[in-house]
Structure 1
Amino acid sequence: MTKLLKVLATSALVALVASGCASGPQYKEVASSIPTLKDAQGRIYFYRSGSMFGAALQPGINLNGTPVGKSQPGGFFFVDEPAGQYVVTTATETEKTVSFKLDAGETKYVKTSVGFGILVGRIIPTLESADEAAKNLESLHYTGAPSTSASK
C-alpha cells in the first residue's frame, strides 16, 4: 500500500471512531436540570467510559426487552421507571444481561463495558455503586434517551 493510501485509511478510521463518541453536553452542564423523581419511580443511569477501545461497537440497550438507548463511548443517559424487577440486555455476537430490583426513589447505575469476543467485541452491562458511577459520570456526555418507558 502506498504511503498516501495508508494516510487516507488511517484518517478515515480516526474519523469513523471519533464520530461514534458521544457529543452532547457534559454531565456537569445538565446535572442541575435533571428532574426529580416521581414518588413511585426509580431512576436507572446507563453509561460507558470514553475509551476508544471498541468505539465502533455501539449496540442498543434494552430494558425488559424495550430499547431505551445505545451504548456510546463517553456517553450517559437515564430512564425513570416504576419500582420492579428489571433486566438490561446488550447484544453483539452474544447477548449479555444484568438483572436487578429497582425500588421507588432508588437510583441504579448500569455501566456498559467492552469485552473480548470471538469475532466481535461484546458490550457487557454491570451494576455499579453510586460512588463509582459519580466518578465516571463527571466526564461523560448526555446522549438522551427515547421517551418510551420499558414498563409500558
Structure 2
Amino acid sequence: MLKKITVMVSLALLYTGCASVPPVQDMRQVGQIKQFNPPSADHAALYLFRSNSAFGSALKKDLWVDGKCIGETARGTFFYTEVMGNQEHQISTESEFGPNHLNLYTETGKNYFVQQYIKLGVFVGGANLKIVDEQAGQQMVQNLTLAESGYCSKPSLSD
C-alpha cells in the first residue's frame, strides 16, 4: 500500500509544478492581439494556446507551424502568428514517442484557435492538438499570457 501511494505521489509531482515561458512585455501589443481583429491582407490568424490546467503544468512542449518554430509552451500561455490564407498548414507538437500533427485549412481573413493539451504518457506526458471554435477560443485566450516566440527545445519536429 505504501509503495502504491509513493508511486501516485511521484506521478502527481511529475505532472504538476511550475513551468514558465517569458511573457511578452508590451501590454499594448497584447491588448491588440486579444481584440481578435481580422489578420492582415491575404492572411489567417492562429492563436495557439495551452490552458491553465494543473495537469502537466511542469512540462514545456514545442509548437511548430509548417516546420517553423513558434515557441515552447507552458501552462497558461498562448502564441499568435499569421499564416497565408486559403492554404493548408501543418501545426505540430512534440509528444512522448514522436510528433503529433494537425492539418488545418485556413481561409483568408479568419482567426483560428488551436489548443495544445497534455496527455498522460508512459514515461513522461505527451501533447496533442485540437481545434477550438472561435467563441470558446476567444474566452480561453483572454485569460492567458502571450509568450515570446521563437525558442524551441528541439531543432525540428520531423517524423
Equivalent residue, structure 2, for 1:10: none
Q: Give the TM-score normalised by the residue count of structure 2.
A: 0.72
**In structure 2, distance between residues paired with 1:96 and 1:56:** 20
Q: Quick one: which amino acid aligns to residue 17 of structure 2? A: V
Paired residue total:
133
Whether the 8 Å CA contact 1:77–1:143 is kept in 2: the answer is: yes
Equivalent residue, structure 1, for 2:96: 93
Equivalent residue, structure 2, for 1:130: 134
Cα deviations across residues 10-66 of structure 1 (Å, max 9, x unaligned)? xxx7xx933x1456369x975532375211111000111112211122121011121
Identify which of 37, 40, 44 aligns with 2:39. 37
**In structure 1, distance between residues paired with 2:53 and 2:20:** 9
**In structure 1, distance between residues paired with 2:123 and 2:28:** 38
- Give the CA deviation at 1:81: 1.0
- Give the CA deviation at 1:117: 1.2
- Give the CA deviation at 1:131: 1.1
**In structure 2, distance between residues paired with 1:30 and 1:52:** 27
Q: Give the TM-score normalised by the residue count of structure 1.
A: 0.75
- Give the CA deviation at 1:118: 1.4
| Amino-acid identity (%) | 18
